[in-house]
Amino acid sequence: MAPPTTLNLFEQQQSNRRKSRWLVALFLLFFLWLGLGGDLAVYLYTQDLVDPAGQALYRHRFPWAGTVLGLFALVLTFDVLRNGGKRVVKQVGANPLVYAKTDQERQLLNVVEEMSVASGLPMPSVYIVPDADPNAFVSGTKPGEAHLAVTSGLLELLNRDELQAVVAHEMGHVKNEDTKLMTLIAGLGGSILLIRDLMIRTTFHSGRLGGGRSGGSGRNGKGGNPLALVVLVVWLLSWILAPIIVRLMAMAVSRSREYFADAMAAQFTRNPAALAEALAKIEGHHAPTTSISQGIAHLCIVDPTGRLSNRKEGRLADLFATHPPMAIRVSRLRAMAFQSVSSA
């Protein structure tokens, strides 16, 4: 896969804005289906339901589930747009770095300030994640409200130039407006999974409570509406497959953007070799993450879950990997460094 260097910064930002709008629209539609699908199944099931005396029983007329989930999705979207960045750093247990107490912390703040100037962006809030796995990410939905987090393992592993290159990569995401899109996926996708788990537990609990009940209702001489069963199966599958659907959304937006952020980092630092060495060190470091979950892996400079699909190219990898193969990223950065030396 070729990096998206054929797009200039303005085109990349416009593309990200469009995709952010589409993502929100798809999320709202998916949420509506998760509610309305259940309403439709119950409506089809109850439309000809009668008791033994032939009297009509409950008819499900109003889409209560769809209405509730639709309103919840709207509120959730506004909340993620407003507070999504803060929630991500809180989720990983990151500690805000306001006043430096160690040489490493002073160096980090100095590097972030330098890269803010180089990128022409406001300085983000800085956080340290107490995790030995070397990694970094940036979250937030506005350039002026970005939250940059690095792990303690990253500070231990990299020298100043390499740390500067990693920070520049994350500032590149902010500049390209990738951060808003990826934060939306982390916040909205995580909410879908949370509601799915709550629904499964509620359904299981209700089934245990009502498992021994028997009723005398009938269907007015009919064997039931087969369409109700079809809708119910599709609806249940949507809930079951929600984690895969959320991951596919993350894959669709994060993989190619890493190439562009690498190129932006080389532009900000004038030192592509430093990022190449940083990525090579991070890739070769073996410390399983203790803080970063799969739901926000697409935000990181490298995938903390270590998926094998991240080491491959092709359509299958594009669907299931959060990041491009590290070997390709490193080789391209080293090629940039060679070209810079050759043209000097």
Residues taking part in catalysis:
170
Give backbone dihedrals phi and psi of 218, rounded to 5 degrees, phi first: -135, -170
Based on its alpha-carbon atoms, the radius of gyration of the chain, rounded to whole angstroms, reads 25
**How does strand 95-96 pair with strand 136-139?**
unpaired
Nearest to 143 by CA among 181, 180, 95, 96: 180
State the alpha helices, DSSP H only, in 59-177: 64-91, 103-119, 152-157, 160-176
- Quote the CA–CA distance of 217 and 301 in Å, as a whole number: 58
The Cβ of residue 69 has, within 10 Å, a number of other Cβ atoms equal to 24
Give backbone dihedrals phi and psi of 5, rounded to 5 degrees, phi first: -75, -10
Non-local CB neighbours of 175 within 8 Å, separated by 6+ positions: 9, 119, 120, 121, 143, 264
**How does strand 125-129 pair with strand 147-151?**
parallel
Containing 96, the helix (H) or strand (E) segment is strand 95-96
Question: Are 275 and 266 within 8 A, CB to CB?
Answer: yes
Give backbone dihedrals phi and psi of 58, rounded to 5 degrees, phi first: -60, 135
128 strand-pairing partners: 95, 150
